[in-house]
Structure formats: structure tokens, C-alpha cells
Structure 1
Amino acid sequence: MFHLSLIIVVLAAGRALSCDLALVLAVDVSGSVDDEEYRLQMDGLAHALRDGVISEALVRGQAQVMLVQWTGSSRQQITIPWTGVSSFDALDSLADRVAGDPRIWRNYSTAIGDALEFVLPAFAQVQHCKRHLIDVSGDGQSNEGRPPTDMHERLRRAGITVNAIAIEASEPDLTAYFYENVIVGEGAFVITASSFDDYPDRIRKKLLREVTRQSARSGLNPAVR
């Protein structure tokens, strides 16, 4: 009986420590994004991570989170590597790092396909996580490098879902473009921000839907405004 109880405790501990979600936050820093708009993105992400429901879901799921800045071809960089969200203190520390993350590039093009290709190999480090997700934010169509659709089959084979937030500050049809060309995977969806000022509220709604698996339960259209 003692041995059986010990096994149950060990198995329960293993389940409690298992990672539910590996999440890459892929932030657009192309030339169409000015410094104020960059700050709105990073502050909005940090605020969303601290949201009560989102933070609890990330901690309960022992999530792994990475931040990538991307712009034109050959210009992508992991600025915050995989970080385990094992406690609320760890999450607060991550949010602080996101808010303080310095911008790497300015005045370059938009290469969404290249960004997806850059991110894909990083998931080899978090194979123990049940769900693999890339969260792309952007304010324009891809205009350099490989088309994002070229990456779809590789992403599907790897079990990676790509969701997006379309910031329609200058391109009013960007949501439709992201829906047709960027997102991929079961339950993938697009959220629309009408401007960068709208971004903090919309990224919160997006992360809330992702981390609480609302997309799997709601039956909503994948392109959400």
C-alpha cells in the first residue's frame, strides 16, 4: 500500500509539473512601426501577461514563453529565450523583461515567412509541452522573403499553431490577409486591432483565448474582430 501511495504521489507531481503550452510572442519591429507603437506593443504584452485569468492559466499550465523580434529577411532575434512560468513571481519577472525589452531594428521590411521559419526550430527545446503556438503581431503584409504560406506544411507537420493579431493602422484589409496567408493549425484565428492604441486590449483578449483554450470550445469563426 505504501509503494502504491508513493507511485500515485509521484505521478500526480509529474502531471502538475508538465508543460501545457509553449508560446512564442513574435513582435513586428519593421519600419512601419515607430518607437511609440513599439512601446505600445511591449507594454500591452506585459500588461496582458499580468492579467489575473491569463497569469493563472500560464502558471497552472507551467507554460514556456519566448519573445522574438522580427522584421525583414535575416533580421529575426530571440530577445527573451524560453522562460518557464512556474510561479506568479516568475511570471511577474517575465512581464518586466517584456516591458523593458529594447528594440533591435528599425526601418526594415516585413518578412513574415522568414520569421516563421526562424522560430520553428526553437520548439525542439520544448517538446515536452503539449501545445506549441506562435503568436504573430504585425501591421502589414509580408513584402520580403519567402511567402508565409510556404511554411504552412512544415508547421502543420511539427504540430505548431500560428495565430495572429492584425494591427490595421494603415492596412484595413490586413485581417483578411492574415487569415488567408499567415495563420495555420487547428483552431487558428486572427484578432483585429484597429490601431496600435487598440493593441493592448486586443492582445489581452487574444492571449486569454489562447491560454484558456477558448478557441477549442467556442465554435467562433477563426477570424475574430
Structure 2
Amino acid sequence: MRRLAAAVMALACVAPAARAAQGDAPVDLELVLAVDVSYSMDVEEQQIQRDGYAAAIVSRPVLDAIGQGLIGRIAVAYVEWAGADDQRAIVPWRLIDGPDSARAFAAELAAQPLRRSFRTSLSGALSHGVRLFENNGYDGLRKVIDISGDGPNNQGAPVEAARDEAVERGVVVNGLPLMLKRQTFGFVDPTELDVYYRDCVVGGPGSFVLPVRAVEQFPEAVRTKLVMEIAGRAPDPDPGPAPERPVTRPASADAPHGVCSDGERLWRERFGE
């Protein structure tokens, strides 16, 4: 019996190394950061978004969350997306296990030129994100797509179908809706983007929405969201609005449901396509 127990323990210790030797490195989390670069995002917003992620990944709260994981490392890919056929991994999968690898990731991200493109396909971004987990060389305890943007789906497959497929494959989808612009007549956007994200975009166990309503909220929002995703923490109940801080909303919050086809409908009404 003692020999059997010793053999089981030895196998448990060797298994992660064996997976790593085969190219599947064990990590606590495989994380796709999917970032909107459609023309509705101006250059200033894009730079703030890029700087926010670069700063968050090297921040002490994020590094502490990584270090406190069962394995102590995560894998991250940074994807920019716009229309249905426009998704680019500008920083492909990278292993982050401490300050040095985090700084290398941030430097690689900061070195990429900014770009903008046409249309908004959340469904395309989610489907692309799901494919990135296939044969990526990592074996994560959890898989998460962290998607940010400032508008609804207006091209490609229905967003809720792409979300449901991701969840069926064991991927959690969290959302960072950027509500930085005041609504104007004819602007192709639903009235409450955070409600749209909650009802149509995010999904999976513990999924949540973290809306950003002011530019100065963005750095804290990104840090908060990354820490929650790395630690696998479910959001706390919504304490009510606080103008100086972003408010986390669980995906299961009891509120009026948005219409998931709003973006497509509003686009057709304005542009006839």
C-alpha cells in the first residue's frame, strides 16, 4: 500500500513536467485579452486602453494574484479586433510567471503600432478567442476571454450564439464595456452598453461585467478585472453606483434584459446594410 501511495504521488509530481515536455505547460489560467480597435474608438481611447493593459500586467496586485495561484503562472494573448474577419493577435501567447516576464509582455505590447478598422463584431472576436485556446501549448486550469469594447455587435454571427459556444467549450467570458462617450442622435449604440454586455456577451461560471464610464477609471478597472480573473474570484454583489470607481456587475444580475440584435438593427436603420 505504501509503495502504491508513493507511486501515485510520484506520478502527480511528474505529470505537469511531462505535459510541459510535450508542449502543454501547466498554468493557472489561459487568458485572451480581446480589445476593440473599431473606428468608434478614437486614438486617445485606444492609447489609454493599451497603456492600461500594459500597466496592469506589471502592477503589484496582478503579480501577487499570479504568484498566489496553485501553479504560480498564467498564459496571456493580446488580440485586437474590429469587423467579422478582422482579429489579430498582436502579442501571441506568452507565459507570465513574475515581474520579468510581465515587463517583457508589457514592452512587447507597447511596441506595437496603434491601428483602427471598420465595424464591430463581438461574435467574431469571441469565436477567434475560442480558437486561440486550441493547441496553444498550455494546459490551464481555467480559460477566460476578457473582451472590451465601446459598442454592440453590428457584423457577423449573432453575439449570443458565439458566447454560448464559448461557454459550451468551457471558456468564461468577462466584459469591459467602455461607456466613455455621451449618446448622440443616430449613434449606433444601445442605450445601456453594460446591460447589453451582461445579457448578450458575457457568460460562464462567475462571469461578470465591469463598465467604465470615465477615462480615469480605466487603469483601476483593468487591474481589478485581471486580479479577479487570475484569482478566479466571483464578483461581489453590486453595492450601488460610485462615480469615482467602476462597478462590477455579475452576469446573473436581476435587471431588464437588453436586446442582443440592437447593434445590427441600428446599423441597418442608419446605413441600410
Larger Rg: 2
Query: What is the match of residue 123 of structure 1?
Result: 133
Query: What is the match of residue 20 of structure 1?
Result: 28
Trace 1:106-121 onto structure 2 (pairs within 5 A): 106-121=116-131
Identical-residue share of aligned pairs (%): 30
Are 1:92 and 2:111 matched, yes or no? Answer: no
Verify the 8 A CA contact 2:163 2:173 in the aligned structure 1. Answer: no
Query: What is the match of residue 77 of structure 1?
Result: 88
Query: What is the match of residue 175 of structure 1?
Result: 194
| Match of residue 190, structure 1, among 186, 209, 219 | 209
Query: Once the 2 structures are TM-superposed, how far is the Cα of residue 97 of structure 1 from its aligned partner?
Result: 1.6
Task: Count the aligned residue pairs.
Answer: 222
Are 1:45 and 2:53 matched, yes or no? Answer: yes
Query: What is the match of residue 170 of structure 2?
Result: 159
Verify the 8 A CA contact 2:81 2:88 in the aligned structure 1. Answer: yes
Query: What is the match of residue 264 of structure 2?
Result: none
Pair 1:13–1:193, CA change in 2 (3 A): farther
Aligned alpha-carbon RMSD (Å): 2.7
Name the CA distance, whole Å, in 2 between partners of 1:40 and 1:174. 19
Are 1:209 and 2:217 matched, yes or no? Answer: no
Are 1:144 and 2:155 matched, yes or no? Answer: yes
Greater RCO, 1 or 2 (C-alpha within 8 Å, sep 6+): 1
Q: AA paired with 2:98?
A: S
Deviates more, 1:171-180 or 1:133-142: 171-180
Deviates more, 1:173-182 or 1:146-155: 146-155
TM-score, reference length from structure 1: 0.87
Higher relative helix content: 1
Pair 1:18–1:29, CA change in 2 (3 A): same
The 3-state SS of whatever aligns with 2:112 is coil
TM-score, reference length from structure 2: 0.73
**Where does structure 2 lack aligned partners over 5 or more consecutive residues?**
18-24, 184-190, 239-248, 254-273
Verify the 8 A CA contact 1:41 1:196 in the aligned structure 2. Answer: no
Pair 1:13–1:177, CA change in 2 (3 A): same
The 3-state SS of whatever aligns with 2:161 is helix
Pair 1:5–1:99, CA change in 2 (3 A): farther
Pair 1:9–1:102, CA change in 2 (3 A): farther
Verify the 8 A CA contact 1:20 1:131 in the aligned structure 2. Answer: yes
Verify the 8 A CA contact 2:82 2:118 in the aligned structure 1. Answer: yes
Query: Once the 2 structures are TM-superposed, how far is the Cα of residue 124 of structure 1 from its aligned partner?
Result: 1.3
Verify the 8 A CA contact 1:54 1:212 in the aligned structure 2. Answer: no
